[in-house]
Amino acid sequence: MALRDAGDADARGIDRVHVDSWRAAYPGLLPDRVLADLSVDRRAEGWERVLGDRRQQVVVATAGARVVGFGHVGPARDGDLPPTTGQLATLYLDPGWWGTGVGRALHDASLDRLAGSAHDRAVLWMLSTNGRARHFTLRQGWRRDGRIRVQQFGGTVVIDHRLARVIGPR
């Protein structure tokens, strides 16, 4: 397994990991029809935009030529935060790689990218009912900061919690 900055050619691999991880992580948390309707092809355009945006950074974990995970960071999107706060926008791993330490390595590499771009704090949004993600983030030093947001997926209302932590050079 290797970690590196993502390039344009990684978009489809990132899409595949994103779809596969949602389908494995969110049954019972999001509607079945939402998970069934996920499409690598429909997500490709969005990831191509992210990969072309210099304000955002994506780190991929690869096994050979295959993308097995990714972390996506950039400036915090919430208006109540100072400009020195970055955001861990996404962190997903191919389900076959869960529990191997690759998620932790991606997490740390992603936060290193934020620290290297003058961020001293980071936030992330997490689905409140995602116990696996909650356990992982708490072990990495994240704590709820009291902010919540409400979203809808396929007519189902879900609540996300915002978590925060201090970051810095390792």
Q: Which of 19, 136, 114 is nearest to 67 (CA)?
A: 19
Distance of CA 45 to the CA centre of its chain: 17
Q: Check residue 40 and give its pLDDT.
A: 86
Q: Check residue 146 and give its pLDDT.
A: 95
Contacts of 42 (CB under 8 A, 6+ apart): none
Domain that holds residue 147: 2-166
pLDDT digits (tens, 9 = 90+) for 129-139: 999 999 999 99
Phi, psi of 35 (to 5 degrees): -65, -40
Contacts of 155 (CB under 8 A, 6+ apart): 31
pLDDT digits (tens, 9 = 90+) for 90-123: 999 999 999 999 999 999 999 999 998 889 999 9
Instruction: Kindly state the average pLDDT of the residues 20-32.
Output: 95
pLDDT band at 169 (very low <50, low <70, confident <90, very high): low
State the average pLDDT for the chain.
Answer: 93
Kindly report the CATH number assigned to the domain that includes residue 113.
3.40.630.30
Q: How many residues does the chain have?
A: 170
Q: Check residue 48 and give its pLDDT.
A: 80
Provide the residue type at 164 as one letter: A
Q: How many domains does the chain contain in total? A: 1
CA distance 19 to 49: 17
Rounded percentage of the chain residues whose pLDDT exceeds 70:
99
- Residue pair 160/149 in contact by the 8 Å Cβ criterion: yes
Find the radius of gyration of the CA atoms of the chain. Answer: 15
- Residue pair 16/42 in contact by the 8 Å Cβ criterion: no
pLDDT digits (tens, 9 = 90+) for 43-92: 777 778 888 888 899 999 999 999 999 999 999 999 999 999 999 999 99
Q: Check residue 88 and give its pLDDT.
A: 98
Instruction: Kindly state the average pLDDT of the residues 122-151.
Output: 96
Q: Check residue 41 and give its pLDDT.
A: 82
